[in-house]
C-alpha cells in the first residue's frame, strides 16, 4: 500500500480538457505569425514593376501630354440632394479628410469640394456629379500616369458614396474625358501639324473660291463603337488664353483646412507661378468617351477601359502613327 505523506494531496493526472487548453496555448505564437504574414501580404504596397510602366502616346513625331481628366455622371431624380447635400459632403470628408469644401460655395445649385493634396475637384448637384484634375503646362509638369491612377482611385472611392447618399438608381449618361496637349513654338507650326493629318483634308477650292489663305483649322469626329461613343476634337490653342490655369485653388484659404494645409499652400504657389508663364501655342486633342442611358456605373473600370481604348486607337484613328 503506497504511502501518502500527511498534508499533501495525491497527484492527479491532467484531464483531456486541460491538455487541449495547453495545446491551444502553445499554438498562439504560430497563429500570431500567420496573422501577421497574412496582413503584411494584403496591405504591403509593392513598387510598380518596370516592365509594366505605361508607354507615352506618340502622334506624328509629337508626344502629347496629359492636361486634364474628367469623369461625369448625369442622372434623373436627384432632388434628394437638397436634403442630403451636407450629410454627403460630411461623409466624403470623414472617409478622406483631405477632401475639403472649396470656398463658401455650397448651395442648392451645387457643393464643390477639392482634394487638398492632389487638387482633384468634385462637384455634385441635383442633375449630375463630376470629378476633374488638371495640370497646366505653363512652367509646370504635365499630369503623369501615376496622377491618372490616383484620380481613378479617388473616383472609385467617392462615386459609391454619392450613389448611396443621393439614392441614384437611374442614369442618363456617364463619360470620361481626357485632354492632351502637344506644345509648339508658334501658332503657325501648330496649324501646320493639324493640316498634315491625313485623317481629314481641306479642299483647295475653299481658299481659291474665297480668294484667301487658310490660316487655322480644327476637326471634330464622333465615332460610335459597340459599347460607347467617342468624340474626338483636334484644335489649335494658345495656352495662357485658352487653357484652364487652375486658379480656383487660389480661393481656398489654407487656414480653414484641418489637414493638408502644407499641400494646399504649395498648390496655391504653383497656380501663381502658372500665371507668370509666357503664352505658348499648342494643339489640344480632346477625347470624350461616353455612354448614354447606362444600366450601371462602374466608375474605375469605365475610366480605365476608356483610356486604354483611346490610347490604343488614337494614333491609327488620326492617321498619325509615325
Asked which of 20-24, 36-40, 44-48, 154-158 is least confident by mean pLDDT, the reply is 44-48
- Residue 40's pLDDT is 42
**Is 22 a member of any domain?**
no
Q: Categorize the per-residue pLDDT at 43 as very low, low, confident or very high, splitting at 50, 70 and 90.
A: very low
What is the model's pLDDT at position 18? 65
In a domain, 282, yes or no: yes
C-alpha to C-alpha distance for 22 and 278, rounded to whole angstroms:
77
The answer to whether residue 29 is domain-embedded is no
Is the pTM for the entire model greater than 0.75? no
* Interior angle at CA 163, CA 250 and CA 93, nearest 5: 40
**Does 180 fall in a domain?**
yes
Please say whether the beta carbons of 268 and 248 come within 8 A: no
Residue 292 CB contacts under 8 Å (≥ 6 apart), including other chains: 172, 173, 229
Number of domains present in the structure of the chain: 1
Domain presence at residue 177 = yes
| Chain mean position to CA 187 | 31
The answer to the question of residue 45 being in a domain is no
pLDDT, tens digit (0-9, with 9 covering 90-100), for 76-109:
888 888 888 889 999 999 999 999 988 776 777 7
Say what the pLDDT of residue 286 is.
95
With respect to residue 110, please indicate whether it lies within any of the assigned structural domains. yes
Predicted confidence at residue 109, as pLDDT, reads 74
Domain that holds residue 97: 56-317
Mean predicted confidence (pLDDT) in 295-310: 94
**Range of weakest confidence among 3-12, 44-53, 216-225:** 44-53
Distance of alpha carbon 199 from the chain centroid: 30
Q: State pLDDT tens for residues 151-195.
A: 999 999 999 999 999 999 999 999 999 999 888 888 888 888 888
**pLDDT tens across 201-238, in order?**
788 888 888 888 888 888 899 999 999 999 999 999 87
Q: Among candidates 42, 304, 306, 309, which has minimal Cα distance to 151?
A: 304
Query: Is 228 inside any structural domain?
Result: yes
Amino acid at each position: 500500500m503506497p504511502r501518502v505523506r500527511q498534508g499533501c494531496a495525491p497527484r492527479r493526472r491532467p484531464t483531456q480538457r486541460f491538455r487541449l487548453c495547453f495545446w491551444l496555448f502553445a499554438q498562439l505564437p504560430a497563429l500570431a505569425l500567420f496573422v501577421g504574414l497574412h496582413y503584411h501580404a494584403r496591405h504591403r504596397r509593392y513598387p510598380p514593376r518596370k516592365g509594366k510602366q505605361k508607354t507615352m502616346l506618340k502622334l506624328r513625331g509629337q508626344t502629347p501630354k496629359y492636361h486634364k481628366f474628367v469623369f461625369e455622371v448625369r442622372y434623373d431624380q436627384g432632388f434628394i440632394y437638397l436634403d442630403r447635400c451636407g450629410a454627403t459632403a460630411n461623409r466624403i470628408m470623414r472617409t478622406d479628410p483631405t477632401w475639403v469644401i472649396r470656398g463658401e460655395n455650397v448651395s442648392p445649385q451645387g457643393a464643390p469640394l477639392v482634394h487638398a493634396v492632389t487638387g482633384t475637384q468634385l462637384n455634385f448637384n441635383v442633375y449630375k456629379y463630376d470629378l476633374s484634375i488638371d495640370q497646366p503646362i505653363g512652367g509646370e509638369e504635365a499630369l503623369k500616369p501615376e496622377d491618372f491612377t490616383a484620380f481613378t482611385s479617388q473616383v472609385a472611392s467617392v462615386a459609391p458614396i454619392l450613389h448611396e447618399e443621393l439614392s441614384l438608381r437611374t442614369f442618363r449618361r456617364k463619360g470620361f474625358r481626357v485632354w492632351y496637349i502637344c506644345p509648339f513654338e508658334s501658332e503657325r507650326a501648330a496649324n501646320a501639324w493639324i493640316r498634315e493629318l491625313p485623317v481629314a483634308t481641306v479642299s483647295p477650292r475653299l481658299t481659291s473660291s474665297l480668294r484667301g489663305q487658310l490660316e487655322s483649322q480644327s476637326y471634330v469626329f464622333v465615332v460610335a463603337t459597340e459599347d460607347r461613343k467617342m468624340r474626338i476634337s483636334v484644335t489649335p490653342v494658345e495656352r495662357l488664353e485658352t487653357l484652364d490655369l487652375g486658379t480656383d485653388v487660389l480661393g481656398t484659404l489654407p487656414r480653414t483646412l484641418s489637414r493638408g494645409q502644407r499641400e494646399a499652400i504649395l498648390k496655391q504657389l504653383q497656380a501663381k507661378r502658372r500665371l507668370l508663364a509666357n503664352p505658348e501655342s499648342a494643339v489640344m486633342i480632346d477625347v470624350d468617351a461616353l455612354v448614354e442611358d447606362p444600366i450601371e456605373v462602374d466608375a474605375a473600370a469605365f475610366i480605365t477601359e476608356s483610356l486604354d481604348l483611346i490610347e490604343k486607337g488614337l494614333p491609327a484613328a488620326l492617321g498619325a502613327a509615325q
